[in-house]
Amino acid sequence: MRILVHGGAGRIEPEWEEAVLSGVKRARDAGWAVLASGGSALEAAVEAVRVLEDDPAFNAGTGSALNRQGFVEMDAAVMIGEGLRFGGVAAVRDVKNPILLAREVMDSEHILLSGEGASLFARERGIPRHPPEALVTERALARWQRIRRQGGRTSGTVGAVALDAQGRLAAATSTGGIVDKRVGRVGDTPLVGAGTYAEAGLGAASATGEGEFLARALVAYRAVTALKTRSPEKAADEALALARELGGQGGLILLAADGSFAAVHTSPQMSHAWRGPEGEGAGLA
Ligand code: GLY
């Protein structure tokens, strides 16, 4: 069994380091508790991401980045290795936990729902409307105002990959996307193989960083596929190197079917935490 989570690539402001580190540890522990009580890799990854979405220290759920018109639009996805099953939501505005909605999409006839359609589907599945303004935090507002004043490109995402006692693999990713993005912009997170990917017997990956480049490099799929011949670290490094060649920074957590794993980034930092049979770890670099 193993759980590995990330809290996003980028530069973490020093005053937020403690909150971010304790946040990824809390999410890791929540995911591990699910695995330890016999839960599936999917349940564990979703629970870890749900905890991160509810933590305002991260760019997902509450605390998400604001778009060009000053409101939140979130992307999220889940994938399991068995049957390559996938569910995602894009540019959704009024749910508290997009990852729970993505989970529902996986159990529908579709793989990806966006905007108003995703909201309608949420109500159908009993997920209540969450006031969009309740997702906006002071920190996200200040960051948006700063980017609008000074320019720059800031993203951040949360994600988890898990391996359960039955050897099943799952990946889950959630994000508010790039700060000051155009309304309707969708990044790598909810695209199969771009920000989120899992394949039975091989591995699971969740990406973070500049979505346009990560998606063109299909980093999650590329890294998982490379596990056929590479160590997790090498596989993740090579996938991110392609995104960097294209012009984008990012990070990746990658978990192989044998439990080996890597947390790598080309961005200045990437918060992450993991737990497995041999112990646990966490870091900001
Ligand atoms: N990687 C998150 C995004 O670009 O939306």
Q: For residue range 114-129, what is the model confidence (pLDDT) as tens digits?
A: 999 999 999 999 999 9
> Does any domain span residue 229?
no
Tokens standing for residue 159: 């994600």
User: Is residue 157 annotated as a catalytic residue, yes or no?
Assistant: yes
Residue pLDDT, tens place only, 31-57 = 999 999 999 999 999 999 999 999 999
Q: Which residue's CA lies nearest to atom 4 of ligand 1?
A: 211
> Does any domain span residue 266?
no
β pairing state of 112-114 and 85-92: parallel
DSSP string, 48-69: HHHHHHT-TTSSSSTTPPP-TT
- Rounded to an integer, the average pLDDT of 178-182 is 96
Residue pLDDT, tens place only, 225-235 = 999 999 999 99
> Does any domain span residue 88?
yes
Residue pLDDT, tens place only, 126-163 = 999 999 999 999 999 999 999 999 887 777 899 999 99
Q: Which atom of ligand 1 is nearest to the CA of 212?
A: 4
pLDDT at position 232, please? 98
Q: Which atom of ligand 1 is nearest to the CA of 210?
A: 4
> Does any domain span residue 282?
no
Q: Which helix (H) or strand (E) holds 85?
A: strand 85-92
> Does any domain span residue 32?
yes
Distance 199 CA to ligand 1 centre (A): 22
Number of helices and strands in the chain (H, E): 8, 12
CA distances from 34 to 28, 42, 44, 255 (A): 10, 10, 5, 17
pLDDT at position 162, please? 98
pLDDT band at 185 (very low <50, low <70, confident <90, very high): very high
> Does any domain span residue 281?
no
- Give how many domains the chain has, as a whole number: 1
Between the CA atoms of 282, 157, 152 and 142, what dihedral angle is there, to the nearest 10 degrees?
-90
pLDDT at position 43, please? 98
As a whole number of angstroms, the distance between CA 134 and CA 230 comes to 44
As a whole number of angstroms, the distance between CA 190 and CA 187 comes to 7
Question: Please, what is the average pLDDT of the chain?
Answer: 97
267 lines ligand 1 (CB under 6 A): no
As a whole number of angstroms, the distance between CA 24 and CA 76 comes to 18
pLDDT at position 137, please? 97
> Does any domain span residue 148?
yes
pLDDT at position 156, please? 84
pLDDT at position 50, please? 98
- Rounded to an integer, the average pLDDT of 195-220 is 98
As a whole number of angstroms, the distance between CA 138 and CA 249 comes to 26
As a whole number of angstroms, the distance between CA 226 and CA 205 comes to 12
73 lines ligand 1 (CB under 6 A): no
The rounded radius of gyration (Å) of the Cα atoms in the chain is 17
> Does any domain span residue 184?
yes
Residue pLDDT, tens place only, 69-78 = 999 999 999 9
pTM over 0.95: yes
159 lines ligand 1 (CB under 6 A): no
Residue pLDDT, tens place only, 260-270 = 999 999 999 99
| Helices 41-53, 17-36: crossing angle, 10 deg rounding | 150
209 lines ligand 1 (CB under 6 A): yes
pLDDT at position 149, please? 93
**High-pLDDT (> 90) share of the chain, %:** 96
Host domain of residue 12: 2-193
